[in-house]
C-alpha cells in the first residue's frame, strides 16, 4: 500500500455479533449462557476464617447441561462441596458454532472474602 493512500479500513467487530457478508471469514462461535441455577450458601462455620477463591471447571453438553465438574482451586472441603452442590441445578443455553450446539468448558469463580 502506498504511503499516500487514503483507504480507510472498515471497523473491526460488532457489538451485535458476526455480520453476514463481512470481509472477515471464519466460524461464528458463541459461548454457553447460564439461564438458571442457584448460588451456593456458605456460612461463617464453613469458612472458619478462610478466604480465597473457589474455581470449578465445568463441561456443558449440547443440551446445556453440566456433564462434569472439576475443582481447579478450592479453599476448604465444606466450601468447595457447597459450590459443587449449587452447580447441580444450573442450566445453560449451549455454546454454538455456526448456529449448531456444541459442548464447551468454562470456569466458575466464587470469591469468599474474610468476614468479621
Q: How large a percentage of the chain has pLDDT more than 70?
A: 76
CATH number at residue 48: 3.30.1150.10
Residue 5 three-state SS: coil
CA distance 80 to 112: 11
pTM over 0.85: no
What's the burial of 88, exposed, middle or buried (CB within 10 Å: 0-12/13-18/19+)? exposed
Domain assignment of residue 14, yes or no: no
Q: Which domain holds residue 54?
A: 34-112
User: For residue 17, which of 104, 96, 101 has the smallest C-alpha distance?
Assistant: 96
* Higher pLDDT pick, 74 / 15: 74
How many structural domains is the chain composed of? 1
- Summarised one tens digit per residue, pLDDT across range 58-111 is 999 999 999 999 999 999 898 999 999 999 999 999 999 999 999 999 999 999
Amino acid at each position: 500500500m502506498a504511503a499516500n493512500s487514503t483507504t480507510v479500513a472498515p471497523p473491526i467487530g460488532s457489538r451485535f455479533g458476526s455480520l453476514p457478508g463481512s470481509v472477515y471469514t471464519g466460524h461464528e462461535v458463541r459461548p454457553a449462557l447460564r439461564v438458571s441455577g442457584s448460588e451456593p450458601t456458605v456460612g461463617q462455620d464453613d469458612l472458619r476464617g478462610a478466604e480465597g477463591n473457589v474455581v470449578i471447571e465445568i463441561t456443558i453438553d449440547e443440551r446445556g447441561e453440566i456433564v462434569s465438574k472439576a475443582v481447579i482451586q478450592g479453599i476448604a472441603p465444606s466450601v468447595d462441596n457447597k459450590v459443587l452442590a449449587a452447580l447441580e441445578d444450573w442450566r445453560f443455553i449451549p455454546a454454538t458454532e455456526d448456529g449448531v450446539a456444541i459442548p464447551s468448558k468454562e470456569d466458575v469463580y466464587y470469591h469468599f472474602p474474610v468476614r468479621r
